[in-house]
Structure 1
Amino acid sequence: MQKEQLAEHLRRYHRGAENAVISRELECTFHVSGKELRDQVNALRREGVPIASDQNGYFYAKTEAEVRLTIRHMRNRISGISAAITGLRRSLAAFDDTQIRLPLEGGDDS
């Protein structure tokens, strides 16, 4: 599937939140995996194509409010992931092997 085909399909058939489509339907339509679909949606969004999503699925945004709600949802996910990372960092104390560890900015565990 080319991402342009996905964008056109959403624009034509799933414009606005009221016409959202679940990812499974898009996966079947385009014969792709869930990961491939998410990667294509992400690529389109990075290019500025207004692919929005909510609890009902993906859709081509019809209004500014739909884009803003999608951005808010994505920011909430970032916050949740950040909190999980913080908790995992705290859990590292259980693995302390008495070596001195210096935090390095930009390293694998930063």
Structure 2
Amino acid sequence: MREEKLLSYLKGACTGRRYSASSAALEAAIGISGTDLRKLVNRMRRKGVPIGSDRCGYFYAATAGEVYSTIQQLQNMENGLAAARRGLERSLDAFPLKEGAS
């Protein structure tokens, strides 16, 4: 039900990047927390729903370019997370190995 409500809201009020809605506005409109909104958007994107986003908020993509832009943004986030993971993995060298540690 929340998916339908979000989809309806985005299609009705937020079609195209220029009509994006902030996370706070969507949270209030749909009645969910920010964490739940991000999870919902992620789940819907996995199903192929073209929900775009940028620094201003979320929107229902009106063009392939808007989808591609969001894909690039997600790729940059993925690269940043991978770099952070690699840094943490390198930091493990500073910890002594203890017998029986897993």
Asked whether the two chains share a fold, i.e. TM above 0.5, the reply is yes
| Structure 1 equivalent of residue 52 of structure 2 | 52
| Structure 2 equivalent of residue 94 of structure 1 | 94
Cα distance in 2 between the residues matched to 1:9 and 1:30: 8
Deviation of 1:98 (Å): 5.7
Deviations 1:23-46 (A, max 9, x none): 001111122111100111111111
| Structure 2 equivalent of residue 107 of structure 1 | none
Output the TM-score relative to the length of structure 1.
0.86
- Paired residues for 1:12-91 under 5 Å: 12-91=12-91
Q: Secondary structure at the match of 2:52?
A: strand
Cα distance in 2 between the residues matched to 1:2 and 1:42: 13
Cα distance in 1 between the residues matched to 2:14 and 2:49: 14
Q: Secondary structure at the match of 2:58?
A: strand
Q: Secondary structure at the match of 1:24?
A: helix
Cα RMSD (Å) of the superposition?
Answer: 1.8
Higher helix share: 2
* Aligned-residue identity in percent: 43
Output the TM-score relative to the length of structure 2.
0.92
Cα distance in 2 between the residues matched to 1:98 and 1:49: 48
Unaligned 5+ runs, structure 1: 102-110
Deviations 1:52-104 (A, max 9, x none): 000110000000000000000000000000000000000001112265x9xxx
Cα distance in 1 between the residues matched to 2:50 and 2:8: 11
Unaligned 5+ runs, structure 2: none
